Amino acid sequence: MSILAQNNFTLSSHHHVHTTSLPIVCARIHCLAATTKTKPSHDRRLIEPQFIPPSTPVIVTANRPSLNDPTLLSTWSHRAWVATGCTTVLVSLAKSIMGAASSHIWLEPTLVGLVGYALADLGSGVYHWGIDNYGSASTPGFGAQIEAFQGHHKWPWTITRRQFANNLHALARAVTFTVLPINLLCDDPVIHGFVGVCSGCIMFSQQFHAWAHGTKSRLPPLVVALQDLGLLVSRSQHAAHHRPPYNNNYCIVSGVWNEFLDKKNVFEALELILFFKLGVRPRSWDEPTSEWTEDTDTPSQIIAN
């Protein structure tokens, strides 16, 4: 949903992951030789099978990103998608406002707008949890996003260096294809109240995410105020997601769902269900590797190439 970190400094062709999915059968060979005879007898060899569980993946990391990497810059294609995404969201909101004004019904569009805002945060957490814990760079459709988030955990500061349209274009494209048909086929102000708010929060969630990695002194005062009020995910709350055990605070719109989801162990329950049904282990069950540990160097210490 809203978790496209788009970090290109991740497990790419420079990475090699070596895993084994079947137990390794090892053999211990014991040589039993006679010691009381002058002429040694033939050795008897006993082979005892020993099962060793599959090892965890060994990941070879890529070089750390540079501050002036061109992949952090916005292109005209990125800007065009953000413009179309914003247009579809604004059209949906305008239809909701105009429909409510003409019918004098304001309560229902307002309430469903609040529901859309809350569900966007919940959806961002579920999606974030999924791509953090399952799949790999080769997963069809989602491989690039999964790969990107591994790099984001290693170098989270890169999202603050990514230009606006570069950061949002993928979500804006998805919002465009989803909301545009609704704009063309529907005029219900209640539906548009939900769609406009929910899709807008999803599209801008990556910017909320970037602000959560910013420093207070460099953020706009309005953003800091919204974070302090809990209307946008706060810096301190999201910082907990980047500390061990890396399995909490997944929501990145407002973060309002994080406490409930973590205290009720919702994601842990889902992980158990998937494990017993499909036999798939989430990454959160393993000890964090270097790929999930933040590089201790700050951006100012990294020499631009």
Residue with more model confidence, 69 or 32 = 69
Nearest-5° angle of CA 83, CA 87, CA 92?
155
Considering only residues 75 and 135, tell me which one the structure prediction assigns the higher pLDDT: 75
pLDDT digits (tens, 9 = 90+) for 38-54: 444 444 444 444 444 44
Q: How far apart are CA 260 and CA 48, in angstroms?
A: 50
126 vs 33 pLDDT, higher one? 126
9, pLDDT greater than 80:
no
Distance CA 216, CA 158 (A): 17
In the predicted model, what is the mean pLDDT of the chain? Answer: 79
Residue 263 has pLDDT above 50, yes or no: yes
Provide the β-strand partners of residue 28.
48
Q: Does residue 15 register a pLDDT over 50?
A: no
- Residue, of 250 and 155, whose pLDDT is higher: 250
| CA–CA gap between residue 207 and residue 215 (Å, rounded) | 14
Q: How far apart are the first and last CA of the chain?
A: 33
Contact 164, 203 (CB under 8 A): no
Give the model's pLDDT for residue 65: 58
Note the pLDDT tens digit of each residue in 77-126: 999 999 999 999 999 999 999 999 999 999 999 999 999 999 999 999 99
